[in-house]
């Protein structure tokens, strides 16, 4: 049934009892053409674009928990494409363009709110680096604007402009097409649309091993039995290293907890997404009215998927430094996701060292914004065995050649 | 917030320490690109017991080996470099 | 008035006036805002989030989902306070939130009429065209609760870090018994309870312990504990790894307290969790009206606050605990009817009890006026009963939050109709109602046993006897009832977020069947009461709708904080300068006196430029730079890093650490060196001095000193433990001043010192130690300006005096700041790490290739300089950039462009006083091969042109160093 105001009214008159399942919950078949491990945004988007762009395949998504329960359902939902390197700009802007039409494409409102995203600079040096980034982005065709302090103040009057503030605001830059989207809706929308195209989404099905014959994958072992498949896509985010281990290779990835928090809801006080490089914090206000904020990674590798108070307090102190008016608001929830931090902070997309197996991982702290592109690229790989031009630079081989795509370095950080 | 045992100072709170990566054996500079890349970038990233290097940066400044469960965060043992493992 | 004539724990001698929605009302000391409003007969206190339905007080403590108010008092403002948690104070201005014009007559109440069209998740199905953005602004304005004030909050918050032997969470019967036992064993005990008085529910429920009135016993037992840290009004909000806890103490009324709230960060060796349980509502049609309250809360209001919330009362329950409420109401003069959902309801004297009877509907716009009751097996047979208060009890949910946060397991127990704690974490002991429905006797026994066990785990013995209480009649078991199976599904589960049984049914039908999907799709449990009353009812309803057992559905994850905690309290004192302290140089006060504009550079506050009266910063920079080239300048370089490296293997070790050869450096000489990361990237640069055969002094950049030290330590300890070498960061021990310019030698020559500064003894790139003006010190010949230069170092405590002394040595001395230095070094093409380089820069990109070719030993990062990418010909290379228009200074961060594609960028750009024109530096693809080429320079859509040249723009032969 198509979703619309009209169908809501019709259903309202019928007591909302006529809605079909958003997605089916079938039992797994014994063989598929392509199996996608991980029912997060990237896995579900992969399934959808594979079914849609490369039809006539039997496709399954295997998810060990509940769909969208990984980072896709835990992130702070920021979408943007203001990246420094042309390779990054290409993939993230491809994603943003798909996002811009996604609610219609999926017939599911993902609540894309292009309220803009503003990055602040706190010194002349920050502003010089921002200028370098802004010019790079403009040449990459990304819609960014450099702002002076007065312009920043006009956009976000609540920011700390007190004289003598620890981090003075010298200016910033904004991408107006950036913003936020509803994370669950992205997972659910893709799941519903993929299921409608015949994709089997199997929840509660953990992959515990691979059948590998002569260096080629032949199938997966799961908690629900063996499933044969000649093509396997890995979209397991924080668990990518575990799956690589099962398949006998390693990745340049370490898994960390990344925390996020929300305050209680208040009436609108912040109309754009704000980020500060000095404190690492970022904050937006959800449509419900909660401040949604976070900052850097926890300080050591973890698979625990739970937060850590010292880092939480750092994040909060960092935000209050920017927004002293938020001090009286209360922290309502804090949680953590399990992010796959790749050495150069860029994703890995491409063939794995095992034949028939393809990677989509390493998105770390920033892969929500990339879900449509990650899915599209992996679908292309699964269908053709070859890179889409946009995904080629993100191949695992870049670590051997040394041609990293290091966005942090691009932003002037030597590490 | 972790409580970690520095093999030199005893138990201290997490903010005194710094995680310093997985232990790695440094190959000579005559190895091939792939071996060097593996040393630089590849990580075991173990789920469960994990061997790590930490430094007691805010204390004695010493580096030590820690075996820590990355799921429960339980500390399994801490060793001085070179101590039998 | 609904205040009872006598009783309660309020102080009737201290009336407190306050304002509610513009009306003057009054309560007593000891009231909460909720009890004071109830006492004044205020029924409608808020509106629900989605449908804007009128809502009154439901609970009496942290479970309250409805009574959200705006509270202002002096500098303090809470936009979303829960009325049941805020102690009343005189002068408080209290108002409703999320309603217009007020909570009684809220225009948006109209939304409720359209409820059937806006079920859970309706927004996923609509607002897609033309785009969500077209609707969002209006929807946002409707959402949100209170209104935040834009002024910065200036209240004070502090933080304490403590360790304790035993942390007891909860000061009710079980917690007090545990704390008392543990304290008697001589252990350090920390007892925390979120209420002001000890005893928990004993306050309302009464009873006798050790022959005393129960609450009095609790107070006495706590009073007798020696050495315990007693934290009243303190909520343990989070349990973290390795028994770390976060506690929030409300200190507004604390004696001598200056902080509004304090966060305690506690590490406990043993933990007793005695956090009690929370009553859940019954779920039935129309169960959300004002005047429908938790039965346990009603008991609190009657007994503790002496408020009678209603006179004609119906109690609907499925368990025995509500009978205490009934008895208290009767004693207070109310008429009470009990509808007990259990077929065999216990009979009670003086009560009308209807067995097997449940509520199936209610009425009353601004307060409940009637309830329809029906037998559970004949639901259509309704009887309307008038009432002004409907007290409901659906059973109790143990407060397992902290247990669960810490990783303890849960199991569903059908008999208790609750998730009970399963396996606890090591060192944890659970006692009282958190373990399930227990009577007072059992709670005391468990508490005492927990204290004994905690003591035993720490090798101690308890020296008090377990507390005793007269045995009570055994309670009849609960008769679980999760909702009423009638067609009307407007049965509220989450009051604040307006999640009804119908919404759960919809989620189940659409296959949002995981409990996490349910929560997210319907927003169940996501309001600021954090689902304390709604979670279990929601899970049970989902189980029923999807044909699963409740235990199979399971719970969502319990996450901190247990109650909302103000962000200010969590940050504590960490704001402003304390957020990230800035380091000061020894002569900071002199700089200010000399007219310096101070700015932060890499964590240090340093002079950017010294302004003369009426001078602009730009003019000062130009003047300072020019003066250095013409005469002599004085610069404070004290923040520059200084790391001493000493030991027999110092030379060998540093030779591995640095890109450049340092082992063959002669004693008394300096060399400019790069330090690489193992990835080959240039991490830092600086001058390395060899002070003695086995003693080096490194000078890393100001912001990299810690990083360099950490890197040295890491490599020495993990890779070269056999090397005998030590490091010492002496940055703060020395004040360092640079004297630079053609007349620098003259000025330095005026110092009284035993160091021979003649060019023979101290040529460029040499260093000598000796006595300077009676102080132990060092003079180095080094230059970052391209002019003859001396660096004079003396102990930091004499830094300011030496600065003044140097200033007094010549009338023609010009003070110069970082900005002028930056111009001078740009003229010379010297790199500034982090400005001209970034995380991709390799030494060859800077044109420094000799060590890779010539150095015999392996060094950090060497292999990485030989990867295919490192050897690419089209890497970005460091070059000079000369704008075609000598009057035009391109922005730093402009890009060089070929066919619309970026091929690199300008890293430094300024007006050069020495050359009388604009100059720049940049990193350009294949830049060295482009020298002489004119390129397009792009900045914010505009282009200019510049010629690529050598990085060194001035005095290429370096003659001025010796001039
Ligand atoms: C707190 C936080 C904030 C963030 N904020 C942002 C942001 O603002 N913007 C942004 O762009 N990105 C953000 N991110 C990052 C973003 O959430 C992730 O990069 C993105 O969601 C990754 O999607 P995914 O589908 O790859 O992974 P996931 O959504 O994590 O999905 C992986 C799935 O694989 C499943 N799985 C794992 N192992 C197995 C197995 N063996 N068998 C079967 N299934 C398995 C997991 O259960 C999981 O559901 C944030 C992340 C976090 C944690
Ligand atoms: Zn130590």
* Residue percentage of chain A with pLDDT more than 90: 94
From A244, which residue of chain B is nearest by alpha-carbon distance? B44
User: Does the pLDDT value for residue C922 go beyond 60?
Assistant: yes
For residue C294, the domain's CATH number is: 3.50.50.60
Which residues in chain A (220-239) have CB-CB distances under 8 A to chain B? 239
* Residue percentage of chain C with pLDDT more than 90: 93
Q: What is the mean pLDDT of residues A159-173?
A: 92
Among candidate residues C136, C153, C170, the one where a domain is terminated: C153
Q: Is residue B10 less than 8 Å (CB to CB) from chain C?
A: no
Proximal ligand: closest to the CA of B17: 2
pLDDT tens digits along C664-714:
999 999 999 999 999 999 999 999 999 999 999 999 999 999 999 999 999
pLDDT tens digits along A32-53:
999 999 999 999 999 999 999 9
Q: What is the mean pLDDT of residues C783-810?
A: 97
Phi, psi at C521, each rounded to 5°? -70, -40
One domain, residues C19 and C145? yes
CB atoms within 10 A of CB C681: 23
pLDDT tens digits along C452-466:
999 999 999 999 999
One domain, residues C264 and C405? yes
Tell me the sheet residues that pair with C212. Answer: C209
SS3 label, residue C186: coil
Q: What is the pLDDT of residue C405?
A: 94
User: Does the pLDDT value for residue C891 go beyond 60?
Assistant: yes
Ligand 1: which of A47, A88, A210, A236 to mutate, most ligand atoms within 8 Å of CB?
A236
How far does CA C522 lie from the centroid of its chain? Answer: 28
Confidence band, pLDDT 50/70/90 cuts, at residue A414: very low
Q: What is the pLDDT of residue C256?
A: 56
- Cβ distance C267 to B73 less than 8 Å, yes or no, reads no
Neighbours of A, requiring at least 3 CB pairs below 8 Å, are B, C
Sequence-distant contacts of A102-105: CB under 8 A, at least 24 apart: A102/A186, A102/A189, A102/A372, A103/A189, A103/C128, A103/C131, A103/C132, A104/C128, A104/C129, A105/A193
Cα angle C27-C29-C31, degrees, rounded to a multiple of 5: 60
pLDDT tens digits along C202-218:
988 889 999 999 999 99
C597 burial (CB, 10 Å; 0-12 / 13-18 / 19+) is middle
Among candidate residues C436, C457, C478, the one where a domain is terminated: C457
In whole angstroms, give the CA distance from residue C912 to residue C839. 28
Phi, psi at C645, each rounded to 5°? -125, 120
Q: What is the pLDDT of residue A197?
A: 98
Q: Is the CB of A365 under 6 A from ligand 1?
A: yes
For residue C781, the domain's CATH number is: 3.30.1360.120
User: Does the pLDDT value for residue A412 go beyond 60?
Assistant: no
In whole angstroms, give the CA distance from residue C687 to residue C696. 10
From chain B, the residues in CB contact with A308 under 8 A are 1-2, 14
- Cβ distance B61 to C713 less than 8 Å, yes or no, reads yes
CA A2 to ligand 1 center in whole angstroms:
28
Whether the CB-CB separation of C84 and C57 falls below 8 Å is answered with yes
- Cβ distance C267 to B53 less than 8 Å, yes or no, reads no
Whether the CB-CB separation of B46 and B70 falls below 8 Å is answered with yes
Q: What is the pLDDT of residue A243?
A: 98
Q: What is the pLDDT of residue A415?
A: 42
One domain, residues C138 and C204? no
Q: Is the CB of A41 under 6 A from ligand 1?
A: yes
User: Does the pLDDT value for residue C94 go beyond 80?
Assistant: yes
For residue C126, the domain's CATH number is: 3.10.20.440
Which domain range does residue C347 map to?
A: 282-394
In whole angstroms, give the CA distance from residue A108 to residue A189. 5
For chain A, the domains span 22-81+83-108+182-252+344-411, 117-177+255-341
Confidence band, pLDDT 50/70/90 cuts, at residue C939: very high
Confidence band, pLDDT 50/70/90 cuts, at residue C868: very high
φ/ψ region of A269 (left if φ > 0, alpha if ψ in -120 to 50, else beta) reads alpha
CA A371 to ligand 1 center in whole angstroms:
10
Which residues in chain A (339-398) have CB-CB distances under 8 A to chain C? none
The token duo for C597 is 């504009």
Closest residue to atom 3 of ligand 1, CA basis: A75
DSSP letter for A281, please. Answer: -
Q: Is the CB of A255 under 6 A from ligand 1?
A: no
Q: What is the mean pLDDT of residues A354-379?
A: 98
Ligand 1 atom with least separation from CA of A257: 53
Q: Give chain B's domains with CATH numbers.
A: 3-26+33-79 (3.30.2270.10)
The token duo for C243 is 């028994």
Ligand 1 atom with least separation from CA of A70: 30
One domain, residues C898 and C957? yes
Q: Which DSSP string corresponds to A112-144?
A: -B---EEEEE-SHHHHHHHHHHHHHHHHTT--E
CB atoms within 10 A of CB A131: 23
Q: Is C659 among the domain residues?
A: no
Whether the CB-CB separation of A329 and C568 falls below 8 Å is answered with no
| Of the candidates A298, A297, A407, A257, the residue with the CA atom closest to the CA atom of residue A346 | A407
One domain, residues C93 and C211? no
Fold of the domain spanning A117-177+255-341: D-Amino Acid Oxidase; Chain A, domain 2 (3.30.9)
To the nearest whole Å, the CA of A84 is away from the closest chain C CA by: 11
In whole angstroms, give the CA distance from residue C872 to residue C879. 17
Q: Is the CB of A270 under 6 A from ligand 1?
A: no
From B26, which residue of chain C is nearest by alpha-carbon distance? C719
User: Does the pLDDT value for residue A294 go beyond 90?
Assistant: yes
Confidence band, pLDDT 50/70/90 cuts, at residue C345: confident
One domain, residues C794 and C909? no
- Cβ distance C893 to A335 less than 8 Å, yes or no, reads no
CA B55 to ligand 2 center in whole angstroms:
8
In whole angstroms, give the CA distance from residue B36 to residue C868. 12
From B25, which residue of chain C is nearest by alpha-carbon distance? C719
In angstroms, the Cα distances linking A188 to A72, A99, A298, C507, C521 are: 10, 14, 28, 13, 10
The token duo for C169 is 């969470």
One domain, residues C13 and C123? yes
From C571, which residue of chain A is nearest by alpha-carbon distance? A317
In whole angstroms, give the CA distance from residue C374 to residue A271. 50
In chain B, beta strands by DSSP E: 3-6, 10-13, 18-19, 49-55, 63-69, 75-79
User: Does the pLDDT value for residue A317 go beyond 80?
Assistant: yes
Q: Is the CB of A239 under 6 A from ligand 1?
A: yes
In angstroms, the Cα distances linking C615 to C611, C619, C621, C915 are: 6, 6, 10, 22
Proximal ligand: closest to the CA of A44: 1
Fold agreement (A22-81+83-108+182-252+344-411, A117-177+255-341) = no
Please tell me which of the candidates B2, B37, B82 has its beta carbon nearest to residue C242.
B2
- Nearest-Å Rg of the Cα atoms of chain C is 38
SS3 label, residue A106: helix
CATH superfamily placement of domain A22-81+83-108+182-252+344-411: FAD/NAD(P)-binding domain (3.50.50.60)
Q: Is residue B45 less than 8 Å (CB to CB) from chain A?
A: yes
Q: Is residue A3 less than 8 Å (CB to CB) from chain B?
A: no
Q: Is C411 among the domain residues?
A: yes
Please tell me which of the candidates A241, A252, A310 has its beta carbon nearest to residue B1.
A310
Q: Is C543 among the domain residues?
A: no
From C496, which residue of chain A is nearest by alpha-carbon distance? A265
Report chain A's terminal Cα–Cα distance, integer Å: 52
One domain, residues C22 and C141? yes
- Cβ distance C714 to B31 less than 8 Å, yes or no, reads no
- Interaxial angle between packed helices A183-196 and C515-522, expressed in degrees from 0 to 180 and rounded to the nearest 10: 120
Q: Is residue C547 less than 8 Å (CB to CB) from chain A?
A: no
C940-961 in b/e form (b: 16+ CB < 10 A) is eeeebebebbebbbbbeeeebb
Stated as kind and residue range, the H or E segment containing C177 is: helix C173-184
Q: What is the pTM of this model?
A: 0.97
Ligand 1: which of A67, A68, A75 to mutate, most ligand atoms within 8 Å of CB?
A75
Whether the CB-CB separation of C596 and C615 falls below 8 Å is answered with no
Ligand 1 atom with least separation from CA of A260: 1
CA B79 to ligand 2 center in whole angstroms:
12
* Residue percentage of chain B with pLDDT more than 90: 92
Count of domains observed in chain C: 5
User: Does the pLDDT value for residue A310 go beyond 50?
Assistant: yes
Q: What is the mean pLDDT of residues A353-369?
A: 97
From chain C, the residues in CB contact with A104 under 8 A are 128-129
Phi, psi at A371, each rounded to 5°? -50, -50
Mutate to test the interface with B, among A234, A259, A296, A302 (most CBs of B within 10 A): A302
Which residues lie closer than 8 Å to C569 by C-beta, 6 or more apart?
A: C157, C248, C260, C261, C262, C263
User: Does the pLDDT value for residue C253 go beyond 90?
Assistant: no
Ligand 1: which of A37, A46, A71, A219 to mutate, most ligand atoms within 8 Å of CB?
A71
- Cβ distance A5 to C126 less than 8 Å, yes or no, reads yes
Q: Is C476 among the domain residues?
A: no
Please tell me which of the candidates B1, B18, B33 has its beta carbon nearest to residue C242.
B1
Q: What is the mean pLDDT of residues A156-171?
A: 92
Check whether the bond before C101 is cis (ω within 30° of 0): yes
């Amino acid at each position: 049934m198509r979703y619309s105001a009209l169908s809501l009214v019709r259903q309202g008159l019928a007591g909302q009892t006529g809605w079909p399942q958003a997605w089916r919950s079938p039992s797994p078949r014994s063989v598929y053409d392509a199996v996608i491990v991980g029912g997060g945004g990237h896995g579900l988007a992969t399934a959808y674009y594979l079914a849609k762009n490369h039809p006539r395949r039997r496709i399954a998504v295997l998810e060990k928990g509940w769909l969208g329960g990984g980072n896709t359902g835990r992130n702070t939902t920021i979408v943007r494409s203001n990246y420094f390197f042309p390779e990054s700009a290409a993939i993230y802007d491809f994603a943003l363009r798909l996002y811009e039409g996604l609610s219609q494409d999926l017939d599911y409102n993902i609540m894309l709110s292009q309220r803009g995203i503003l990055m602040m600079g706190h010194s002349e040096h920050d502003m010089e680096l921002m200028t370098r980034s802004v010019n790079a982005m403009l040449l990459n065709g990304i819609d960014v604007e450099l702002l002076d302090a007065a312009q920043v103040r006009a956009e976000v009057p609540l920011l700390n402009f007190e004289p003598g503030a620890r981090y003075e605001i010298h200016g910033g830059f904004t991408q107006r097409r950036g913003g936020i989207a509803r994370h669950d809706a992205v997972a659910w929308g893709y799941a519903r649309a993929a299921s409608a195209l015949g994709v089997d989404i199997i929840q509660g099905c953990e992959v515990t091993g691979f059948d590998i014959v002569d260096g080629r994958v032949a199938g997966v072992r799961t908690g629900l039995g063996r499933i044969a498949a000649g093509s396997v896509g890995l979209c397991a985010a924080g668990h990518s290293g575990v799956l690589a281990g099962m398949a006998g290779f390693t990745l340049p990835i370490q898994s960390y907890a990344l925390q996020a928090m929300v305050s209680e809801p208040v009436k609108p006080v912040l109309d754009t997404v704000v980020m500060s490089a000095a404190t690492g914090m970022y904050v937006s206000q959800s449509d419900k009215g909660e401040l949604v904020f976070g900052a850097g990674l926890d300080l050591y590798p973890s698979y625990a998927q739970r937060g850590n108070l010292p880092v939480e307090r750092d994040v909060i102190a960092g935000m209050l430094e920017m927004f002293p008016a938020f001090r009286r608001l209360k922290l309502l929830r804090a949680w953590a996701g399990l992010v796959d931090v790749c050495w150069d902070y860029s994703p890995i997309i491409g063939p794995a060292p095992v034949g028939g197996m393809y990677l989509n991982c390493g998105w770390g702290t920033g892969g929500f914004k990339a879900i449509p592109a990650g899915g599209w690229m992996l679908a292309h790989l699964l269908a053709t065995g070859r890179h889409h031009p946009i995904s080629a630079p993100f191949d695992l081989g870049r670590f051997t050649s040394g041609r990293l795509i290091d966005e942090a370095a691009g932003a002037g950080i030597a590490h | 917030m972790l409580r970690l045992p520095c093999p030199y100072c005893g138990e201290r709170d997490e903010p005194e320490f710094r995680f310093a990566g997985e232990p790695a054996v440094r190959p000579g500079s005559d190895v091939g690109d792939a071996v060097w890349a593996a040393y630089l970038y590849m990580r075991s990233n173990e789920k469960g017991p994990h061997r790590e290097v930490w430094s007691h940066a805010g204390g004695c400044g010493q580096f030590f080996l820690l075996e820590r469960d990355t799921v429960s965060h339980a500390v399994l043992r801490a060793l001085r470099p070179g101590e039998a493992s | 008035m609904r205040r009872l004539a006598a009783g309660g724990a309020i102080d009737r001698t201290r009336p407190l006036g306050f304002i509610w929605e513009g009306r003057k009302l009054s309560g007593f000391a000891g009231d909460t805002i909720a009890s004071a409003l109830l006492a004044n007969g205020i029924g409608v206190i808020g509106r629900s989030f989605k449908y804007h339905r009128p809502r009154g007080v439901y609970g009496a403590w942290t479970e309250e989902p409805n009574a959200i108010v705006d509270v202002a008092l002096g500098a303090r403002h809470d936009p979303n306070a829960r009325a049941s948690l805020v102690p009343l104070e005189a002068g408080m201005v209290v108002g409703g939130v999320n309603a217009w014009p007020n909570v009684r007559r809220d225009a948006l109440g109209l939304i409720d009429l359209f409820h059937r069209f806006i079920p859970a998740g309706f927004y996923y199905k609509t607002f897609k065209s033309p785009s969500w953005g077209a609707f969002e602004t209006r929807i946002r304005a409707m959402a949100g609760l209170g209104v935040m004030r834009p002024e910065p909050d200036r209240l004070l918050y502090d933080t304490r870090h403590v360790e304790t032997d035993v942390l007891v969470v909860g000061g009710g019967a079980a917690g007090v018994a545990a704390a008392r036992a543990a304290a008697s064993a001589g252990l350090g005990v920390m007892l925390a309870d979120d209420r002001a008085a000890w005893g928990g529910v004993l306050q309302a429920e009464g009873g006798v312990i050790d022959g005393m009135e129960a609450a009095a016993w609790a107070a006495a037992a706590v009073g007798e504990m020696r050495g315990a840290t007693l934290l009243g009004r303190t909520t343990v909000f989070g349990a973290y790894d390795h028994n770390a806890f976060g506690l929030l103490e409300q200190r507004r009324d604390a004696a001598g307290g200056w902080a509004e709230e304090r966060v305690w960060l506690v590490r406990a060796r043993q933990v007793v969790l005695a956090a009690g349980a929370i009553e859940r509502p019954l779920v039935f049609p129309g169960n959300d009206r004002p005047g429908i309250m938790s039965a346990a809360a009603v008991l609190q209001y009657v007994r503790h606050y002496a408020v009678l919330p209603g006179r004609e009362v119906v109690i609907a329950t499925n368990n025995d605990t509500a009978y205490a409420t009934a008895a208290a109401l009767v004693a207070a003069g109310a008429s009470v009817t009990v509808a007990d959902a259990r077929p065999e309801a216990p009979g009670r004297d003086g009560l009308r009890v209807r067995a097997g009877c449940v509520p199936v509907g209610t009425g009353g716009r601004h307060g409940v006026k009637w309830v329809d009751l029906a037998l559970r097996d004949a639901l259509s047979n309704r009887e309307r009963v008038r009432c002004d208060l409907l007290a409901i009890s659906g059973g109790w949910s143990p407060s397992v939050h902290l247990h669960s946060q810490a990783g303890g397991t849960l199991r569903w127990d059908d008999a208790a109709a609750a998730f009970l704690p399963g396996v606890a974490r090591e060192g944890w002991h659970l006692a009282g109602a958190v373990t399930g429905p227990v009577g007072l006797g059992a709670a005391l026994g468990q508490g005492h046993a927990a204290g004994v066990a905690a003591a035993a785990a720490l090798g101690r013995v308890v020296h008090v006897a377990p507390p005793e209480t007269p045995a009570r009649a055994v309670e009849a078991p609960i008769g679980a009832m999760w909702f009423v199976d009638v067609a009307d599904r407007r049965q509220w589960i989450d009051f604040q977020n307006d999640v009804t049984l119908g919404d759960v049914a919809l989620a189940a039908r659409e296959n949002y069947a995981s409990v996490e999907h349910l929560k997210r799709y319907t927003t169940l449990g996501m309001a600021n009461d954090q689902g304390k009353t709604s979670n279990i009812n929601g899970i049970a309803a989902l189980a029923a709708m999807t044909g699963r057992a409740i235990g199979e559905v399971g719970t969502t994850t319990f996450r901190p904080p247990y109650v909302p905690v103000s962000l200010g309290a969590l940050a504590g004192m960490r704001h402003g300068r304390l957020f990230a302290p800035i380091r000061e140089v020894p002569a900071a006060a002199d700089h200010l006196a000399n007219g310096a504009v101070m700015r932060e550079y890499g964590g240090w506050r340093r002079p950017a430029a010294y302004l003369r009266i009426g001078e602009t910063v730009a003019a000062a920079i130009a003047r300072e730079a020019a003066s250095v080239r013409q005469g002599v300048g004085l610069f404070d370089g004290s923040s520059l890093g200084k790391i001493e490296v000493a030991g027999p293997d110092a030379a060998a070790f540093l030779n591995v650490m640095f890109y450049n050869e340092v082992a063959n450096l002669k004693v008394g000489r300096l060399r400019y060196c790069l330090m690489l990361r193992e990835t080959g990237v240039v991490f830092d640069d600086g001058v390395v001095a060899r002070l003695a055969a086995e003693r080096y002094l490194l000078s890393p950049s100001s912001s990299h000193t810690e990083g360099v030290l950490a890197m040295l330590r890491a490599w020495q300890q993990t890779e070269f433990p056999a090397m005998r070498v030590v490091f010492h960061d002496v940055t703060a021990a020395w004040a360092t001043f640079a004297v630079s310019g053609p007349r620098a030698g003259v000025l330095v020559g005026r110092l009284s010192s035993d160091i021979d500064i003649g060019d023979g003894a101290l040529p460029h790139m040499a260093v000598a130690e000796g006595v300077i003006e009676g102080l132990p010190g060092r003079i180095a010949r080094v230059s970052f300006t391209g002019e003859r230069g001396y660096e004079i170092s003396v102990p930091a405590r004499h830094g300011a005096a030496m600065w003044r002394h140097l200033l007094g040595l010549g009338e023609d001395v010009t003070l110069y700041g970082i900005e002028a230095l930056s111009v001078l070094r740009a003229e010379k093409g010297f790199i500034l790490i982090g400005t001209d380089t970034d995380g991709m820069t390799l030494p060859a990109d800077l044109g420094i290739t000799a060590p890779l070719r010539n150095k015999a030993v392996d060094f950090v990062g060497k292999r990485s300089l030989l990867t295919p990418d490192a050897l690419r010909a089209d890497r970005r290379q460091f070059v000079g950039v000369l704008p075609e228009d000598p009057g035009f200074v391109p922005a730093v961060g402009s890009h060089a462009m070929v066919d619309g594609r970026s091929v690199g960028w300008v890293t430094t750009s300024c007006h050069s006083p020495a050359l009388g024109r604009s100059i720049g530096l940049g990193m350009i693809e294949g830049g060295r091969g482009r020298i002489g080429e004119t390129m397009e320079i792009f900045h914010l859509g505009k282009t200019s042109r510049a010629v690529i040249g050598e990085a060194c723009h001035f005095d290429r032969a370096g003659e001025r160093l010796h001039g």
